[in-house]
Amino acid sequence: MNKLLQLLGDGRFHSGQELGDALGVSRGSVWKNIGRIEEEYGIDLHRVRGRGYRLAGPLSLLDGLALQNHLRSTKWSLFLYPEVDSTNAEALRLLSAGALPPFVVLAEAQKAGRGRRGRKWISPVAQNLYYSLAYRITGGFQQLSGLSLVAGLAVMISLRNLGVRQIGLKWPNDIYAGGKKLAGVLLELSGDPADVCYVVIGVGINVNMVSTKEQIDQPWTSLRTELGHLVDRNSVATCLSDTLHSYLQRHTDYGFASIQEEWEREHIWQGRDCVLSTASQQVYGRVVGIDEMGGLRLEVGGVEKSFNSGELSLRLAP
């Protein structure tokens, strides 16, 4: 199935005979697999008698061999799937089965992608980047301090390096471009946080998605929208891996304090009046910055208070 998508990925017409010869199957098998792609993956294809099959638009598919070769410099291994429920969930399963971190899980699609606060992450086939890094933590709670913010900063820097402008962070770890959400980070733990544990850093980046039939509850954008052209998802994955590796190493060596000031410079709501929603109340205050643990510092009624990330939601005050 993935091989057929690779052949069609250029967005041009390919005859059933041409595709069958390349795959070593009959034209009838090609026709059946085309139907499966449409039904299972929701990908639109055009059929024209005498010309063959063509995707509604070109796709950028992941190249497992090239990505694994690139990851050798970081000593991270790779697990690449056509489809999973969630790359974070798969990474946690691999850890439970004995896979040794650090390793990256990538998928062409997710059936049950998720973001913070239980929200669904829209995950169409071969459109966006669905990426999870399983990482070993040995320094206890201190090594976990601010880690989600460090991951968000690394994602933002990697996207800026790819050419995105007007990009910044929204506490705790959302990435915005031009006031619209471009990417997000979700961390999940396995093991004992006070001793040795594993953290799965899940990253979702809107890469080539320009429309969706599913409802998204906030303004969003994509790399393709921001840059004006189809983006190579392999380049996004390699750039992200390099930047994550650099920032995680810096966090390990020097702690969150070495990154705190840089994060604050990139916070799009620094100094703004905001509403922080908790499970039981809404807190109105002005964003002062973040503390040494990555918690949000708000000036509330003339008094500075800190709030940890947890299940909190930050919005601009009306």
Tokens, residue 207: 């890469």
HSE value, Cβ hemisphere, 13 Å, CA-based, for 283:
22
Contact 206, 128 (CB under 8 A): yes
Given 55, 82, 99, the domain boundary residue is 55
Does 133 share its domain with 200?
yes
Whether 107 and 234 map to the same domain: the answer is: yes
Q: How confident is the model at residue 119 (pLDDT cuts 50, 70, 90)?
A: low
Here the CATH number for the domain that contains residue 170 is 3.30.930.10
pLDDT tens digits, 274-314: 999 987 889 999 999 999 989 999 999 999 999 886 678 88
Amino acid code (one letter) for 310: G
Q: What pLDDT is stored for residue 268 in this prediction?
A: 95
Q: What element of type H or E holds 29?
A: helix 27-41
How far from chain centre, in Å, is Cα 82? 16
First CA to last CA distance, the chain: 49
CB distance 148 to 294 below 8 Å: yes
With a cut of 60, say whether residue 116 has pLDDT above it.
no
- The residue ranking higher by pLDDT, 140 or 210, is 210
Q: What is the CATH number of the domain that holds 307?
A: 2.30.30.100
Indicate if the pLDDT at residue 200 is higher than 90: yes
Q: Give the position of tokens 């750039």.
A: 239
CA distance 43 to 147: 36
Give, as one character, the DSSP assignment of residue 100.
Answer: P
Q: What would the two tokens of residue 24 be?
A: 């070593």
Q: Calculate mean pLDDT across residues 29-41.
A: 78
In contact, 76 and 68? CB cutoff 8 Å:
no
CATH number of the domain bearing residue 41: 1.10.10.10
Residue 214: DSSP 8-state: S
The arithmetic mean of pLDDT across residues 41-53, rounded, is: 79
CA distance 202 to 119: 14
More confident residue, 91 or 122: 91
Point out the annotated binding site for biotin. 86-88, 110, 114-116, 181
CB distance 15 to 48 below 8 Å: no
Known catalytic residues are 116, 181, 315
Q: Which of 168, 197, 165, 140 is nearest to 269 (CA)?
A: 168
**Tokens 């799009």, located at residue:** 268
**Amino acid found at 227:** L
pLDDT reported for residue 35: 80
pTM over the 0.75 mark: yes
Last residue in a domain, options 31, 55, 79: 55
Asked if 266 contacts 168 with a C-beta cutoff of 8 angstroms, the reply is yes
Q: Are residues 83 and 201 in the same domain?
A: yes
116 and 259 within one domain: yes
Taking the C-alpha atoms of 86, 88, 94 and 96 in order, what is their torsion angle to the nearest 10 degrees?
A: -120
Residues annotated in the binding site, as ranges?
86-88, 110, 114-116, 181
Do 82 and 207 belong to one domain? yes
Residues 301 and 222 in one domain: no
Q: How far apart, in whole angstroms, are the C-alpha atoms of residue 14 and residue 25?
A: 15
Q: Are residues 167 and 181 in the same domain?
A: yes
pLDDT, average across residues 120-142 = 84
CA–CA dist 171, 306 (Å, integer): 13
Tokens for 227?
Answer: 């840059």
pLDDT digits (tens, 9 = 90+) for 223-263: 999 999 999 999 999 999 999 999 999 999 999 999 999 99
Task: Write down the mean pLDDT value for the chain.
Answer: 89
Which amino acid type is present at position 291?
Answer: D
| 243/165 same-domain check | yes
pLDDT in tens, 72-103: 999 999 999 989 999 999 999 999 999 999 99
Do 241 and 219 share a structural domain? yes
118 pLDDT above the threshold of 60: no
Residues 145 and 293 in one domain: no
**E-assigned strand segments in the chain:** 45-48, 52-55, 77-81, 103-107, 129-137, 167-170, 174-177, 180-191, 197-205, 273-277, 282-290, 296-300, 303-307, 313-316
Q: Which of 34, 55, 76 lies at the terminal end of a domain, its last residue?
A: 55
Number of domains in the chain: 3
The pLDDT of residue 169:
97
- Residues 93, 159 within the same domain: yes
Closest CA to 126 of 49, 50, 37, 197: 37
Tell me what pLDDT residue 36 has: 79
Q: ∠ at Cα 64 (59, 65), nearest 5°?
A: 125
293 is in which domain, residue-wise?
269-316
